[in-house]
Structure 1
């Protein structure tokens, strides 16, 4: 039975329900993870904003005292790009293993432990910076592995907790964000792997969730149909779309503070405020997109495949458009900031498009497939952040144009592939009763 034709039983309250509470809990987890990932991208503006390395003999006494309080490091743009991208190495190597293990082990323990470790490592970054750039990179790699565990394992939650007609809004609420140690303890108390095990869930909500997923969720752990997955063009469409999304998203996340500082010459205080605006707008767009997608689906206004294509188009094409506006239409500081914010925020439309599409085509393998597609997405993030650092170091004058042109090219090519091959029906190899072997 396909999701398009499923009519859930008696519906229970939404925002006052446990499943929505879980979605908001995940939202705060992702907000903490995202803040830990990007905090160094903003502080590095102050950490490298002087030409003399701290502690040199020709530095005045006043400057030396200031540097002791606020250390400044002689990190080139290439080194900064390496520091930015190092976190993705850790994320990269955890996606597939965690996606696979999420089918076997407790997601509650995996996410909670990884969140605690990432938060702990975040506290060690200043000490690592004093020790040397190698230690900063090492710390960021390990932190990335912990964050990758959180980002990959959490997707498997919706296999058991998300009714088909509410997937857009539940996932958009949880993903629209990106006190860690305290929150990880709260996670262990409030989250349960399966709705039937939660001591506080309402009986009607439990029945609503389990009955709506009856045709899609199986407790059996069959071997993964790897060959069929490799031949699946819809899965490749998801992979290319995720690659483009992460390519664009991470360039903007990592280098927006540097852009504001070097090109627009804003102060550190203004930089922090302006860097936060895209995340607020992205959060709003993500929520609106999820609500709109589920509304269009529940009212049978559009089919699932059209909805996925529509929001994928918005999430990849709008950032490309606003990047071109940055190149040719930003004649003032305010115009540049507006286009920069829109280019960064509009990618959130993808949350109700390509980012959730694997749950449509293979819900029983969703955790593993999110690990695989996230791996490909992290390759995009890793390549884009490293390449941008090299471009900034070699050609400061035209570097931004080259970076933005690359974003447009990657997004447009990936979007064309997605529009041709995106599907929303459960693939044959993902249906109950199929026994395709490795």
Structure 2
């Protein structure tokens, strides 16, 4: 089956193959990242809370579930009520927060160096080795959990270490392969993680209920190993390195990219990068995006299960809906952005700033409305789905802006931005645990949503004021800048000499005419 599939990929354009592998790479890394958010609900016995034997939201419509008891992981004094296929790990709320947040302890650090590693040694092998390591660590997770929660924290720590290399490396691939007219489509492939979240959370619940919680670790790990075979065969670092690309496609890509991107081996210009205000604006925007994304990813299942009152299997499906909306709208926004840029309706800078309205401001407003939705489960699910869905416009804002600023160092820029932004991954579980330590009511969750909404909106305003979509001078090395300056001087001298040459030519023609007349 795998051989047949590989042969099929050989007859389609290489850029399409690359898009598919970018998309599925994000799918795989998110599948191994987010499964813990739902797995932990099954691994830790749920308890009957003294104050309420049911969820805060009594059944009111067809989405409500009449059999779910109120879940409060901070209260472990009562006899545990096991979820079907669940375990008996009596971990406190703080211990669970450590497990969920451990992935992000080292993830920012490896995100910082991941882009540089890919620029130096090639993104193909960096992604491959990171994915294999992630699969092995995921397989070891059940054993680590049975030993101690500390063991699971350690495994999640190293899983984040490996995962941090992947996204910056993928952005290096996009910079080297995507023609400017197709940049939006390639960046939209980064939403593959969204589908990974949808599939993982949709299937994990039924999988655990039938085969036990350990299966939710083994199955994703096995799928990742299979995916690595396809990645190794189909992906190359650059169009010139690909053994099966046609001459026409290679020529088209290289001519479209021009001299903006080179296969860089030197160190990035860190001084120029760090002191660049447009880059700082991009980092702030990226941080706001990741705060909202990681908030729903790490604590979304708990909110859906504990506050809205859905069973484990239903909680996975409902928690995945926002990501499905994000994937769908990201594809639409990416195509719209490419169309606008091709038709030159807006400049690149205007596109980046205008679509912040959809990627950040509207999602923030919807999060505020969510905490006032009360027990209307349909309205709550709709608001949280629309909030994440509109965030799909990030394909035109923070997920693409680093490509604008310096395509030569796109991986490095994304790595630095991810280094800062990924700290949201361990802040959001801690903040949630702090505000919900005494229960899971709308009043206790309200500050959590307010914080998320504020970060969304403030980061967008900052970027609108100080961001840009123009390429920065430090994208080119010192030698490149000198060559560029020489070309500009030569062009200027040529333009100055042209009128003199035309005047001389005119004089010569006139004299020739007079001689002929004589």
TM-score by length of 1: 0.89
Residue in 1 that maps onto 2:307 = 263
Judging changes above 3 Å, is the alpha-carbon distance between structure 1 residues 396 and 157 closer, same or farther for their aligned structure 2 residues? same
1:114 aligns with 2:130: yes
Q: Is the 8 A contact 2:108 2:419 kept in 1?
A: yes
Equivalent positions of 1:16-415 (< 5 A) are 16-51=12-47, 70-177=86-193, 179-394=223-438, 396-397=440-441, 398-415=443-460
For structure 1, list consecutive stretches of 5 or more residues without a partner in the other structure.
1-14
Deviation at 1:221, TM superposition (A): 3.6
Query: Take 1:106 and 1:85, find their aligned partners in 2: how far apart are those partners?
Result: 29
Judging changes above 3 Å, is the alpha-carbon distance between structure 1 residues 59 and 255 closer, same or farther for their aligned structure 2 residues? closer
Residue in 1 that maps onto 2:472 = 427
RMSD: 2.4
- Deviation digits for residues 354-374 of structure 1, max 9, x if unmatched? 121011011111111111011
For the residue of structure 1 that corresponds to 2:119, the secondary structure is coil
Q: Is the 8 A contact 1:25 1:174 kept in 2?
A: no
Judging changes above 3 Å, is the alpha-carbon distance between structure 1 residues 346 and 434 closer, same or farther for their aligned structure 2 residues? farther
* Residue correspondences, number: 415
Query: Take 1:220 and 1:146, find their aligned partners in 2: how far apart are those partners?
Result: 23
Residue in 2 that maps onto 1:12 = none
Deviation at 1:257, TM superposition (A): 0.9
Residue in 1 that maps onto 2:489 = none
Query: Take 1:185 and 1:389, find their aligned partners in 2: how far apart are those partners?
Result: 40
For structure 2, list consecutive stretches of 5 or more residues without a partner in the other structure.
1-10, 49-72, 195-222, 482-518
Deviates more, 1:331-340 or 1:66-75: 66-75
Deviates more, 1:294-303 or 1:388-397: 388-397
Q: Is the 8 A contact 2:28 2:224 kept in 1?
A: yes
Judging changes above 3 Å, is the alpha-carbon distance between structure 1 residues 111 and 321 closer, same or farther for their aligned structure 2 residues? same
| Structure of higher RCO (CA pairs closer than 8 Å, 6+ residues apart) | 1
Query: Take 1:78 and 1:29, find their aligned partners in 2: how far apart are those partners?
Result: 32
Query: Take 1:220 and 1:42, find their aligned partners in 2: how far apart are those partners?
Result: 41
Judging changes above 3 Å, is the alpha-carbon distance between structure 1 residues 59 and 262 closer, same or farther for their aligned structure 2 residues? closer
Q: Is the 8 A contact 2:25 2:192 kept in 1?
A: no
Deviation at 1:433, TM superposition (A): 3.9
Deviation at 1:222, TM superposition (A): 4.1
Query: Take 1:68 and 1:313, find their aligned partners in 2: how far apart are those partners?
Result: 43
Query: Take 2:136 and 2:433, find their aligned partners in 1: how far apart are those partners?
Result: 27
Larger Rg: 2
Deviation at 1:127, TM superposition (A): 1.6
Deviation at 1:380, TM superposition (A): 2.4
Query: Take 1:301 and 1:428, find their aligned partners in 2: how far apart are those partners?
Result: 25
Q: Is the 8 A contact 2:130 2:162 kept in 1?
A: yes
- Deviation digits for residues 188-219 of structure 1, max 9, x if unmatched? 11111111121221221111100111220134
Deviation at 1:384, TM superposition (A): 2.2
Q: Is the 8 A contact 2:22 2:192 kept in 1?
A: no
Deviates more, 1:424-433 or 1:408-417: 424-433
Q: Is the 8 A contact 2:279 2:402 kept in 1?
A: yes
For the residue of structure 1 that corresponds to 2:412, the secondary structure is helix
Query: Take 2:480 and 2:333, find their aligned partners in 1: how far apart are those partners?
Result: 36
Deviation at 1:48, TM superposition (A): 2.2
Deviation at 1:98, TM superposition (A): 1.6
Query: Take 1:67 and 1:271, find their aligned partners in 2: how far apart are those partners?
Result: 12
For the residue of structure 1 that corresponds to 2:352, the secondary structure is helix
Q: Is the 8 A contact 2:83 2:312 kept in 1?
A: no
For the residue of structure 1 that corresponds to 2:35, the secondary structure is helix
- Deviation digits for residues 91-116 of structure 1, max 9, x if unmatched? 11201222212221021111011111
For the residue of structure 2 that corresponds to 1:102, the secondary structure is helix
